[in-house]
Chains A and B, each alone.
Chain A
Amino acid sequence: MVTGAQNHQGEILIKDVTKIYDPEGVHVVAMKDCSFDIAAGEFAVIVGPSGCGKTTLLNAIAGFDTITSGEIYLDGELISSRDRQIKPDVERMVVFQNGALFPWKTVMENVIYGPVVQKRMKKREAVDAAREMLHQVGLNGIEDKYPEELSSGVQRRVEILRALINKPKVVMLDEPFRGLDAVAKTVMHEFLMDIFCESPRTMFFITHDLDEAIFLGSKVIIMTTRPAQVKKIVHVDLPWPREHHVLGSKIYLDLKREVLEAVHEEAKKAFEAGEREMA
């Protein structure tokens, strides 16, 4: 569905990133010397205890926030360091946790917003492109509806299309399916699987849902509790496109045990740290 240049690239290098909130005052070390990389076209899923700094990292890559030290590169270009922060742009699209479709724009107006505002397409071309994208994923007929008239599952899909129409190098999703019921989630996973297989591009996907993480990810990056570092990286060598029955396979269950153990250790630490803070 997303045609054109297939070498979108989108390699991300995260090198010794440290983020301290309010260094003069409360001094919260959200992330310390965190390093890992995501190859171009890789589906990276980030899991870890709540408040461990996953979103911190997303904000730094997206250009929403600065980092205290370290470096982040996108295709060799330094996009974030202590002294340099490239502003948000269409190369790095974010799909937000609670959804950020503009409620005052219809589905169509939302999807074509990017290409039109960037003057990359004429409105007419953008409408055609958007209509085709919606059609391909079976979402035709909702073009003139406002987001709040749609179920949250459909809203999320539209928001993902709104990001993809810009052909970004990286798509970052911050727990995009949180709050959806299990059935709706399955639909979302298949949707994301389809568009990823159709045109692989770098994904940076934050979640708490381990099934989701393994089902979608080429690799699962497990973060430690605050200050966040990489605890473990689990490569998911399941064939693409994945279908839901894979969730019962032995290789899947082994992977899940591996991820679960790592996550559980960190969750326990986080819980104990929380207890200490409360005391």
Chain B
Amino acid sequence: MISRFKARVTDPQLLRALIGILVFVSLWYLFTAVLNLPRFRLIPNPVAVLKDWFSLTPASGRSIFTKVYYLDIAYSVGRTLTAFAAATILGVSLGLLMGWSRTFYDFTFPVVETLRPMPPLSWIPLAILILPGVEIAVVYITFIAAFFATVLNTLLGVFSIDKNYFLAARCLGSKPKDVFVNVIVPGSLPFIFTGLQIGMGISWMSLVAGEIIAGKQGLGYAIYEGYFLYQFEHVISYMFTLGILGYMSSAGIRAAGRKLMAWESRRRGA
């Protein structure tokens, strides 16, 4: 166990990661605390941010020792996960159906392709008008772009499947539903998981925008509040909180993908 840990610490990959972080933080410190560049005058340096973030009595009232911090996280994570789950279930289903049936594709593709590029924020007015309650509107805005990213990647996943697998499946006596289960679904998984990672990223981005405009709680809302109250330490610590949550959710999707696609990772020798 110890030797394994040692091997990981001396791992050049980890070392490089640490150096990257160090360089980034140093530059930030340089701009804000040492050089005092004109446009950076109001920006807190990393030490100030960390102090506030881990303070028992933060000036902003938000640190890892306050309840409201976790409430904000809970709101944002809850919205994102709800939206992401909906985007995955509906997006993958729609994408698979579009890839499976040419007729269904013909019916749906023009509509999907027109709605897809609409920025999530442009949905805000309609979302608020149509959906009951601001909460659902925020979730909808978080959902919509991720949904289309998932649909498109799933569809591309189906199209990426070698034609011979379909022919082989038919030779071997598959009915259409067998082809769906045994060829279309597993064959498109690699693309689906790429889509889910993109979708997760888009979800977080849209969430914050949605929260800023229509939210009452959550990380995005709190960032905007911090901006108005000149609590820039808290703005930055919340940005990093979002970054870490995003990182963790992507890592989670990758781990799930590796588990579901053992055949893929073994091929890559991972």
Contact = CB atoms under 8 A, between A and B. Distances in A.
B96 to A, nearest CB: 15
B165 interface: yes
A113 B169 CA distance: 9
A243 to B, nearest CB: 31
A99 to B, nearest CB: 8
Interface residues of B, number: 23
Contacts of B262: 146
Nearest to B175: A117
Contacts of A149: 266-267
Interface in A90-112: 90, 92-94, 96, 98, 100, 102-105
A58 to B, nearest CB: 11
Contacts of A146: 262-263, 266-267
A114 interface: yes
Interface residues on A, range: 20 to 34
Nearest to B260: A104
Interface in A157-192: 162-163, 166
A129 to B, nearest CB: 15
Contacts of A47: none
A79 interface: no
A94 B173 CA distance: 12
A98 B164 CA distance: 9
A100 B267 contact: no
Contact of A102 (B170, B182, B189, B266): B182
B172 A96 contact: no
A144 to B, nearest CB: 10
Q: Which of B169, B172, B183 has the most CB of A within 10 A?
A: B172
Contacts of B186: 102, 104-105
B182 A148 contact: no
Interface in B228-270: 261-263, 266-267
B171 A94 contact: yes
A20 B105 CA distance: 29
Contacts of A87: 170
B36 interface: no
A89 B171 contact: yes
A62 interface: yes
A250 B37 CA distance: 91
Contacts of B11: none
Contacts of A88: 167, 170-171
A113 B186 CA distance: 14
A120 B178 CA distance: 15
Contacts of A113: 172, 182
B266 A114 contact: no
A194 B167 CA distance: 27
Contacts of B171: 62, 88-90, 92-94, 163
B89 interface: no
Contact of A118 (B173, B182, B266, B267): B173
A240 interface: no
B182 A100 contact: no
A36 interface: no
A96 B168 contact: yes
B174 interface: yes
A64 B267 contact: no
A104 B187 contact: yes
A102 B167 CA distance: 11
Nearest to B187: A104
Closest 10 pairs (CB-CB, A-B): A104-B186, A118-B173, A100-B168, A100-B164, A114-B172, A148-B267, A146-B263, A88-B170, A90-B173, A96-B164
8 contacts: A87-B170, A88-B167, A100-B168, A103-B267, A113-B172, A117-B174, A117-B182, A148-B266
Given A90-B172, A104-B189, 5 more contacts: A64-B167, A98-B162, A100-B167, A103-B267, A162-B172
